[in-house]
Amino acid sequence: MAGYALEVRGLHVWLRDKHVVKGVSFRCPEATITAIMGPSGTGKSTLLRALNRLIDLNPDARVEGEVLLRGESIYDMEPYELRRRVAMVFQEPNPFPHMSIYDNVAIGPRLHGLARDRRELDKIVRWALEKAMLWDEVKDRLHDSPMKLSGGQRQRLSLARALALKPEVLLLDEPTANVDPVNAVKIEEAIRDLVREEGVTVVFVTHLPSQAVRVSEYLIFMYDGRIVEHGPSREVALNPRNPLTERFFRGEL
């Protein structure tokens, strides 16, 4: 039995005086997709930002509890190295506007010294763009500005930028919320391939129950800072045990 890539134990987050994440525990098996769904404002994004310690940048945030990355506490790691191993894609496509498409993907490997020379860097950039299903669309204009790309392409570029870090875990914060349906499908496909072919473990936050069920092996339903239901996706979708989950699937929450 493969181990767990990510293990969260009794995680609490306060933003100023507001208790946003209230004692959350779950585990993500290696090379699986866990979807976290729930209405907006239930602490999904905040929870995600605690997993790569991005929340440390918010001086008003206070975190309690344990997060283990392959058995090792993330608080014993350098945050920079942690963020290389646990990469993230955000809701808003956010490529760096002043860098070329190539440099956007190359910045991660450059920061962490992942490539020994230019040829290796080229290889990583190409690999990441292929995995994000963007290579064919941009291979002839790698040195153009990313601002010439469409919104969906920009989001796939953000995905490629994260993948170039060769992460073990990928955090996705509603990655298709600002993207057209065609691009949303491409992104979902890219992510499923990543898990299958590269063994990346994915935590996928979404507010769409249909998407959550479609992409994931495991499903977490969060409500008001707590995990209300957690289990294999099909099981949760077909037989929700908690009435709140049922109401969420019916679109009542």
Among 34, 42, 52, 206, binds other proteins (CB under 8 A): 52
Contact residues for 181 (Cβ-Cβ < 8 A; gap 6+): none
Least distance (Å) between residue 86 CB and other proteins: 9
Whose Cβ is closer to other proteins: residue 109's or residue 225's? 109
Q: Is 204 in the site for other proteins (CB under 8 A)?
A: no
**147 near other proteins (CB under 8 A):** yes
- DSSP class of residue 77? S
Question: What CA–CA distance (Å, rounded) separates 92 from 104?
Answer: 16
CB of 214 to other proteins, least distance (A): 25
Among 94, 100, 198, 246, binds other proteins (CB under 8 A): 94
By beta-carbon proximity to other proteins, the closer residue of 32 and 158 is: 158
**Among 34-42, 77-85, 122-130, 197-205, which window interacts with other proteins (CB under 8 A)?**
77-85
Q: Among residues 72, 92, 144, 193, which is the contact residue for other proteins, using CB under 8 A?
A: 92
Interaction with other proteins in 96-125: which residues (CB under 8 A)? 96-99, 107-108, 111-112
Least distance to other proteins, CB of residue 175, Å: 13
Of 17-25, 81-89, 225-233, 236-244, the window that binds other proteins (rule: CB under 8 A) is 81-89
Residue 89 class from Cβ within 10 Å (0-12 exposed, 13-18 middle, 19+ buried)? buried
The kind and range of the H/E element at 84 are: helix 79-85
Quickly count: other Cβ atoms within 10 Å of residue 119's Cβ: 8
Q: At what angle do helices 101-112 and 118-131 cross, to 10 degrees?
A: 120
* Residue 80 binds to other proteins (criterion: CB under 8 A): yes
Q: CA–CA separation, 67 vs 39, rounded Å?
A: 24
Contact region for other proteins (CB under 8 A) — 83-91, 118-126, 133-141, 187-195?
83-91
DSSP letter string over 106-167?
Answer: HHHHHHHT--SSHHHHHHHHHHHHHHTT-HHHHTT-TTS-GGGS-HHHHHHHHHHHHHTT--
Which segments of the chain are extended strands (E)? Answer: 4-15, 18-29, 33-37, 61-69, 72-73, 86-89, 169-173, 201-206, 218-223, 226-232
**CB of 99 vs other proteins, minimal distance in Å:** 8
Residues making contact with other proteins (CB under 8 A):
52, 54, 57, 79-84, 87-88, 90, 92, 94-99, 107-108, 111-112, 147, 158, 161-162, 165
